[in-house]
Structure 1
Amino acid sequence: MASLNSSSSSSSLSSHLSSPAATSGFTTPLSSLVSIPHTLPSRVFASGAVTHALDLPPVKSYPTADVLLSVLTLYAKRVRRNFGDNEEDGTERAIPEGYVDWLTRLLGSGLSWIRAPGSSSPDDDASEELRERILDIIATRIAERSGRTGAPDMVREFDVPGLKCSVVLREPSLTADSLGLKTWGSSLVFAQLFRGPATAAKGALQFEGGERILELGSGTGLAGIVLCALGYAVTMTDLPEIVANLEDNVQTNGARLWYDDDRERAEVAVLDWTSPERSPIYGQKFKTVIFADIAYSHEQPALLSRVVPLFLDSASPKAQVVVLLPLRPAFADVRASLWTALDGIQFAPVRGGFESGWDDFGKEEYYWSIWRPRAHVDRGIEMNINTLP
Structure 2
Amino acid sequence: MARSRPLLDSNGIDLDNEDDEALDVLDLPQLYTKPPAGVLFATLDDLTSQPHPWEATPRSGIPRGLDGNSGPGRRKRKIKSEGVPHYLTKIIASSLAWIENDVEKEAIWEAASQRLSERSGRMAMGDISRTFAITFQTPDLSAQETAKVDADEVLEIILHEPALTSDSMGLKTWASSYLLAKRLTQLRDSLPRLPPDAQILELGAGTGLVGLAAAVLLKRTVILTDLPEIVPNLERNVRDNAALLVRYDARAETAVLDWSDPGAFLLPSRSGEQQQCLSRTFRLILATDCVYSPAHPALLEQAIGYHLCRSNDARVVVEMPIRKADAAERAEFRKRMLGLGLILLSEGEEVGYDDWGASGGRDDGEGLAEVVCWWSVWGPQ
1:264-311 deviation line (CA, Å, top 9, x unaligned): x11011223345455433524322211011100111112112222332
* 1:72–1:137 Cα contact (<8 Å) kept: yes
Larger displacement relative to structure 2 (223-232 or 322-331): 322-331
Partner of 1:135: 109
Matched letter for residue 313 of structure 2: K
* Structure with higher strand content: 2
What's the TM-score, normalizing by structure 1? 0.71
Task: Tell me by how many angstroms 1:326 deviates.
Answer: 2.1
Gaps of 5+ in 1: 7-38, 117-126, 378-389
1:344-385 deviation line (CA, Å, top 9, x unaligned): 4x2321402113121224333333223335xxx2xxxxxxxx
Aligned ranges 1:362-373 → 2 under 5 Å: 362-373=369-380
* 1:321–1:370 Cα contact (<8 Å) kept: yes
Matched letter for residue 112 of structure 2: I
Task: Tell me by how many angstroms 1:49 deviates.
Answer: 7.1
CA distance in structure 2 between the partners assigned to 1:241 and 1:78 by the alignment: 25
* 1:228–1:266 Cα contact (<8 Å) kept: yes
CA distance in structure 2 between the partners assigned to 1:271 and 1:44 by the alignment: 56
* 1:189–1:355 Cα contact (<8 Å) kept: no
Matched letter for residue 168 of structure 2: S
SS at match of 1:136: helix
Partner of 1:170: 160
* 1:213–1:234 Cα contact (<8 Å) kept: yes
* 1:82–1:156 Cα contact (<8 Å) kept: no
1:228 matches 2:222: no
Larger displacement relative to structure 2 (217-226 or 146-155): 146-155
- Please, which of 334, 337, 356 is the counterpart of residue 339 of structure 1? 334
Task: Tell me by how many angstroms 1:224 deviates.
Answer: 0.9
Task: Tell me by how many angstroms 1:107 deviates.
Answer: 1.4
Partner of 2:144: none
Partner of 1:108: 93
Alignment: residue pair count: 319
- Please, which of 68, 74, 78 is the counterpart of residue 94 of structure 1? 78
CA distance in structure 1 between the partners assigned to 2:222 and 2:304 by the alignment: 16
Matched letter for residue 366 of structure 1: C
CA distance in structure 1 between the partners assigned to 2:49 and 2:83 by the alignment: 16
Task: Tell me by how many angstroms 1:343 deviates.
Answer: 3.2
Partner of 2:194: 208
Relative distance call for 1:267 and 1:150 in structure 2 (3 A) is: same
Aligned ranges 1:134-153 → 2 under 5 Å: 134-153=108-127
Partner of 2:252: 266
* 2:351–2:370 Cα contact (<8 Å) kept: yes
Larger displacement relative to structure 2 (61-70 or 297-306): 61-70
Relative distance call for 1:44 and 1:218 in structure 2 (3 A) is: farther
1:180 matches 2:170: yes
Question: Percent identity of the aligned residues?
Answer: 34
Matched letter for residue 173 of structure 1: A
Partner of 1:40: 11
Whichever of the two has the greater Rg, that structure is: 1
1:42-76 deviation line (CA, Å, top 9, x unaligned): 78985657722223233344444223212112322
Partner of 1:301: 297
Matched letter for residue 11 of structure 2: L
Gaps of 5+ in 2: 57-61, 65-74, 137-152, 268-275, 355-360, 362-368
1:10-45 deviation line (CA, Å, top 9, x unaligned): xxxxxxxxxxxxxxxxxxxxxxxxxxxxx3257898
Partner of 1:57: 29
* 2:348–2:376 Cα contact (<8 Å) kept: no
SS at match of 2:178: helix
- Please, which of 43, 64, 74 is the counterpart of residue 46 of structure 2? 74
Task: Tell me by how many angstroms 1:259 deviates.
Answer: 0.5
Task: Tell me by how many angstroms 1:196 deviates.
Answer: 8.8
CA distance in structure 2 between the partners assigned to 1:272 and 1:45 by the alignment: 59
SS at match of 2:241: helix
SS at match of 1:259: helix
CA distance in structure 2 between the partners assigned to 1:40 and 1:339 by the alignment: 58
CA distance in structure 1 between the partners assigned to 2:135 and 2:36 by the alignment: 47
Matched letter for residue 109 of structure 1: S
1:157-181 deviation line (CA, Å, top 9, x unaligned): 3332314432232333333221222
SS at match of 1:241: coil
CA distance in structure 2 between the partners assigned to 1:196 and 1:227 by the alignment: 12
CA distance in structure 1 between the partners assigned to 2:308 and 2:194 by the alignment: 15
Matched letter for residue 176 of structure 1: S
CA distance in structure 2 between the partners assigned to 1:42 and 1:95 by the alignment: 12
Matched letter for residue 177 of structure 2: S
CA distance in structure 2 between the partners assigned to 1:92 and 1:80 by the alignment: 15
What is the root-mean-square deviation of aligned Cα atoms in Å? 3.2
CA distance in structure 2 between the partners assigned to 1:207 and 1:68 by the alignment: 57
CA distance in structure 1 between the partners assigned to 2:329 and 2:161 by the alignment: 26
